[in-house]
Amino acid sequence: MRAIRAVVLFMQERGGGAVVIISSISGWKPGPKTQYGSAKAAEIFLAGGLAWELAEAKIRINTVCPGSARRLLSC
């Protein structure tokens, strides 16, 4: 949040910009790690709120939510 707030003024001067927040699928699907999932859900909520707040300044806010990836071995 502090990093985003620090660059907003520069992005407004340039006429827009983009911010990417890296969250996790754990923010969407509850799992065994409650604290981790709560923090990731907060990042998703933050992105939504900032997107509304900064839309007039032409600053896009995106969230990437990668999930678990398993390598499947075929025999």
Active site residues: 36
CA distance 41 to 64: 12
Question: Is the C-alpha dihedral spanning 30, 66, 49, 46 positive or negative?
Answer: positive
Around Cβ 3, how many Cβ atoms within 10 Å? 8
